[in-house]
Amino acid sequence: MSESELEPTIEETPPPKADSPRQRFWKRMVRNPLALFSMVWFVILIVSWVWPELLATHDPFKQDVTLQRLFEGPSGDHWLGTDGLGRDHYSRVVFGAGFAFRSIFIAMTIAIGIGVPIGLFSGWRGGRIDRAIMWVNDVLFSLPIILLAMAVIIILTPSLTNAMIGVGIAMATRFVRLTRGVTLAEKEELYVDAARITGISVPRILARYIAPNLLPSLIVQAAIISGAIILIGATLSFLGIGASLDDPDWGVMLNRARPDFRREGIWQIMPSGGALVLTVLAFNLLGDAIRDAIGRDASSNALTITKRVSVAAASTSHAEGDDLVISVRDMDVEFPSAKGPVSEILNGVSFEVRAGETLGVVGESGSGKSMTMLSALGLTPAPGRMTRGSVNFLGEDVTNLTEKAWQSIRGKEVGVIFQEPIAVLNPAMKVGAQIMEPLRIHMGMSKAEARTRAVELLTEVRVPDPARRLDQYPHEFSGGMAQRVGIAMALACEPKLLIADEPSTALDVTVQGQILDLLAEIQTRRNMAIILITHDLGVIAEAADRVLVMYGGQVMETGSVEDVFFRPKHPYTKALLDTMPQNHSGDGELAVIAGIVPQPTAWPTGCRFAPRCVHATDSCTSTMPPLLTVNTDVVRCLRHGEEGFDLAQPASGTEVLS
């Protein structure tokens, strides 16, 4: 399914105001327990930094001169025990927070102060200057940070501040990369062009347009780098070349514990080590949480197979006939959403396709065309699932087929062609290997046999020089040639059914014709059934025998191609036809369909098309029309059959030709 299919759409007056990005961000942050943990930990740390005396119970430098209380474990007096000089661990850990934050402050000021301006400049300038800057940056980037810090320390003498200057310079390379990457990407966004066209000056574009888009990833990166700075600072202090060896710095505490921990027990490293790990962890979790709160939810992928649910039976029976390839009855598909109700993406979808026949499926973006076909093949994207209906394929009930069983049908009995021809080819695999894949899986061919057959297939779809093309990678193909490869792959095992989901939409119009001709030619030769999904009624007019019109996840009507174009039964079909510029004569305004496809979470009550329908009556907005059977076809309109309700088109074409 294409992205735009799920795009929420409204028109004229906007929907109720949603949460602002900031509100939504904080809501998500507060709901995330890990984020909450890190925020609480930071509050404690910040108090320790600003006002350590408030939390500390002892003087962190005070040694036990009596030598009585060395290497102690936790006690009522010393909550976290004492070190080799009898100093209170707990108080030293509290004071250590200050060292950690000072380190971050110094290193981060340098890193962001140097990195962000250079990155912005380099990304915006582009060209050779950018490449030169990035080359130098990458050299520094690939050197170990500790080594760079050591270089600065040896020049300036060991101290935590000097170490952090070195770390800051090293970390600046991270910010250069990030800022430059974002700037380079944002610069290509059309809104930057639009700002330039408006006359906004470059510094202002950087500050007001690009910087806000940079900020989220900058904050995420800063959180994670803060953790890294503490780690590196602790390592340098542990090595004795960071903070002074008396300071209550966490790294120094570990340094002091090193000679003795094997003898005196592991407890000696626990307070400082624990504080260190918790703080770094808190920074990392915070970074992750911010990223999640900003970004999209990526908890499912193409492999995620939704848990099976019992599919309620269809209430109507399947069509009959030996030439029946696929028959779908009363299919409902639902998407549970994190908040709010389950949304019903498809409702009561029924259709069938016979051998040698092309069913054209048409409707606006968001009408459920692609979802219908994916669901019929058991490919409903997670977390969606089919909750009702029945699918019959080549005479067998495949409604409840397992993924494993589907594997032997997909690619063999049914082929699929997708909209984006390049994106559906694996960029890291030779095109030949991808065409040979179904042949080897389903036909059990040897490598050599599959290769011979692949050459034949590419010849059949008229790819010039097929043998050489097999050894090329997808990026060496133009869109049109890649789509031919897509067709060859879909047809490799001579399927009985071909599903073509917008096969020519992404292609140039002169290439589109070639692809449609190719499909028609192969269909005739193989007597194959085709389901052709498209938003273009012109394509339907050329290639379809029968038409399925969809809107709002429902079937609006079916009919022969002549019926649908010359005698539409549903006002939606009629409206679609009227909006085509080709059907517009004269100079006046183009016909439109007011408003836009509603969102699946908010289907209108009654007929889903009623709010945009010029023929809608009161009952249309209150009663959901049933799917009426008219001869062998269906229509979902309350006013169908009403006296004087006639949507017939003037059959212009017929006159021209006869």
Interaction residues for another protein, span 601-630 (CB under 8 A) = none
Is 610 or 627 the residue whose CB approaches another protein more closely?
610
The strand pair at 385-393 and 324-335 is best described as: antiparallel
Rounded to a whole number of angstroms, the minimum distance from the CB of residue 236 to another protein is 9
In whole angstroms, give the CA distance from residue 254 to residue 400: 61
The strand pair at 529-534 and 358-362 is best described as: parallel
Rounded to a whole number of angstroms, the minimum distance from the CB of residue 591 to another protein is 6
Enumerate residues 544-573 that contact another protein by CB under 8 A: 561-562, 565
Task: Specify the 3-state DSSP secondary structure of 573.
Answer: helix
Q: Single out the residue of 389, 402, 301, 336 nearest to residue 600, CA to CA.
A: 336
Enumerate residues 302-361 that contact another protein by CB under 8 A: 302-304
User: Tokens in use for 369?
Assistant: 């065309």
The mark string for 259-298 relative to another protein (x by CB under 8 A, - otherwise) is: --xx---x--x---x--xxx-xx--xx--x---------x
Rg (CA), the chain: 33
- Decide: is 535 part of the binding site for another protein (CB under 8 A): yes
Question: Is the torsion defined by CA of 76, 77, 78, 83 positive or negative?
Answer: negative
Is 213 or 452 the residue whose CB approaches another protein more closely?
213
In whole angstroms, give the CA distance from residue 305 to residue 407: 13
- Decide: is 154 part of the binding site for another protein (CB under 8 A): yes
Rounded to a whole number of angstroms, the minimum distance from the CB of residue 140 to another protein is 8
- Decide: is 541 part of the binding site for another protein (CB under 8 A): yes
- Decide: is 33 part of the binding site for another protein (CB under 8 A): no
How big is the site for another protein, counted in residues (CB under 8 A)? 163
Of 219, 355, 424, 628, the residue at the interface with another protein (CB under 8 A) is: 424
Rounded to a whole number of angstroms, the minimum distance from the CB of residue 577 to another protein is 6
Rounded to a whole number of angstroms, the minimum distance from the CB of residue 653 to another protein is 4
Residue 226 host element (H or E): helix 211-238
Tell me if 549 sits within 8 A of 363, measured CB to CB. yes
The mark string for 571-600 relative to another protein (x by CB under 8 A, - otherwise) is: ----xxx-xxxxxx----xxxxxx-x----
Decide: residue 36, CB within 10 A, 0-12 exposed, 13-18 middle, 19+ buried: middle
The mark string for 383-422 relative to another protein (x by CB under 8 A, - otherwise) is: --------------------x--xxxxxxx--xx-x-x--
In whole angstroms, give the CA distance from residue 334 to residue 313: 15
Rounded to a whole number of angstroms, the minimum distance from the CB of residue 53 to another protein is 28
Enumerate residues 467-506 that contact another protein by CB under 8 A: 473, 475-476, 478-481, 486, 489-490
Rounded to a whole number of angstroms, the minimum distance from the CB of residue 358 to another protein is 12
- Contact partners, residue 215, CB within 8 Å, separation at least 6: none
- Decide: is 380 part of the binding site for another protein (CB under 8 A): no
Angle 160-188/145-156 helices, nearest 10 degrees? 130
In whole angstroms, give the CA distance from residue 113 to residue 134: 17
Name the segment binding another protein (CB under 8 A); options: 17-25, 43-51, 94-102, 639-647.
Answer: 17-25
Enumerate residues 212-251 that contact another protein by CB under 8 A: 212-213, 227, 231, 234-235, 238-241
Angle 270-294/211-238 helices, nearest 10 degrees? 170
Of 30, 43, 50, 147, the residue at the interface with another protein (CB under 8 A) is: 147
